[in-house]
């Protein structure tokens, strides 16, 4: 009955590879997000998406792209992985934007070697 | 850049004591939220306080908000070992994006 689920939990890959992280929410929320947490625990918003609008944090490299096949899913695709992409990536969802708490997934630890 | 700055960065207390964490932010906000993150886990939403509210309670949690000083505090009363975690404040502004502070690492010793 996990509300926001991400797969995989761990991902180890070589530089230059392309990888995807999947996210699904069963809460009926209309907005989903991707956050990146670095080694110092700082959390940075990467994308915000509902069925009407994609908001991209302008600091996110265009190697990162969100793909949403439907309202309950927001996958993260990363092309040409770099060492600096190593981090924990969190998916989250909320009902509306900014007026309610977010529900987070348990995270995907990405290690680029 | 981070919207919020949290103070202290780390806090160690004995079980039963109260823990107070502070958060300062830079821009006008719609609301401020506090989250808990246990080691190796996702973030859990604790409490939300709107910009027109000054204080809010939830169980052993008490949150205050001072918009004139652009600051908030989270008080955990009668702390327990299970409260050991990182605590983050986060704000939403007119763009409604949730922006996080750097977090306070709380350790509660049994």
Is CATH 2.60.40.10 what the domain over B4-109 is classified as, yes or no? Answer: yes
Among A79-83, B2-6, B34-38, the range scoring the smallest mean pLDDT is B2-6
Query: Would you place residue B103 in the very low, low, confident or very high pLDDT band (cuts 50, 70, 90)?
Result: very high
At residue B54, the pLDDT reads: 97
A98/B31 touch (CB, cutoff 8 Å), yes or no: yes
Cβ pair A7, A22 in contact under 8 A: yes
Among A32, A34, A41, A106, most B C-beta atoms within 10 A, so best to mutate, is A41
CA distance A38 to A44: 8
Task: Look up residue B47 and give its two tokens.
Answer: 């409490």
Task: Look up residue A50 and give its two tokens.
Answer: 């509902």
Residue B13 pLDDT > 90: yes
CA distance A41 to A73: 25
Ordered domains of chain A (ranges, CATH):
4-112 (2.60.40.10)
Cβ pair A96, A53 in contact under 8 A: no
CA distance A33 to A75: 10
At residue B95, the pLDDT reads: 66
Q: Who wins on pLDDT, A78 or A1?
A: A78
Closest CA in chain B for residue A32: B97
> What residues in A contact B42, CB-CB < 8 Å?
4, 90, 104-107
B45/A101 touch (CB, cutoff 8 Å), yes or no: yes
For A85, the 3-state DSSP assignment is helix
| Domain-wise residue ranges, chain B | 4-109
Q: What is the pLDDT of residues A14-57, one digit of tens each?
A: 999 999 999 999 999 989 999 999 998 999 999 989 877 888 78
At residue B6, the pLDDT reads: 84
Q: What is the pLDDT of residues B40-97, one digit of tens each?
A: 899 999 999 999 999 999 999 999 999 999 999 999 999 999 999 999 999 987 767 7
Q: What is the pLDDT of residues A78-102, one digit of tens each?
A: 999 999 999 999 999 998 766 788 9
Of A45, A99, A105, the CB nearest to B42: A105
- Best CA proximity match to B37, nearest among A83, A35, A10, A66: A35
B43/A99 touch (CB, cutoff 8 Å), yes or no: no
**C-alpha B16: how far from its chain's center?**
19
At residue B1, the pLDDT reads: 43
CA distance B38 to B44: 9
The DSSP secondary-structure symbol of B16 reads T
- Best CA proximity match to B23, nearest among B109, B101, B110: B101
Query: Would you place residue B5 in the very low, low, confident or very high pLDDT band (cuts 50, 70, 90)?
Result: confident
Of A45, A99, A103, the CB nearest to B97: A45
Q: What is the pLDDT of residues A61-71, one digit of tens each?
A: 999 999 988 88
Q: Beta strands of chain A (E only): which ranges?
A: 4-7, 10-13, 19-25, 31-37, 43-50, 54-56, 64-67, 75-78, 87-94, 103-104, 108-112
């Amino acid at each position: 009955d996990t509300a926001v689920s991400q797969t995989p939990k761990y991902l180890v890959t070589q530089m230059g590879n392309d990888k995807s992280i999947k996210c699904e929410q069963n809460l009926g929320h209309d907005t989903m997000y991707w956050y990146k947490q670095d080694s110092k625990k700082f959390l940075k918003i990467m994308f915000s998406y509902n069925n009407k609008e994609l908001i991209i944090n302008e600091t996110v490299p265009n190697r990162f792209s969100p793909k949403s096949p439907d309202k309950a899913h927001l996958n993260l695709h990363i092309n040409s992985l770099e060492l600096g992409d190593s981090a924990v990536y969190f998916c989250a969802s909320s009902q509306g934007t900014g007026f309610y708490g977010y529900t987070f997934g348990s995270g995907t630890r990405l290690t680029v070697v | 850049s981070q919207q919020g700055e949290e103070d202290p960065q780390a806090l160690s207390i004995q079980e039963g004591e109260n823990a107070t964490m502070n958060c300062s932010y830079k821009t006008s906000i719609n609301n401020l939220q506090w989250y808990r993150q246990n080691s190796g886990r996702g973030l859990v939403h604790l409490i939300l306080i709107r910009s027109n509210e000054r204080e809010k309670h939830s169980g052993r949690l008490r949150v205050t908000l001072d918009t004139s000083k652009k600051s908030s505090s989270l008080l955990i009363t009668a702390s327990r070992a299970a409260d050991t975690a990182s605590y983050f404040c986060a704000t939403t502004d007119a763009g409604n994006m949730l922006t996080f502070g750097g977090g306070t690492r709380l350790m509660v010793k049994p």
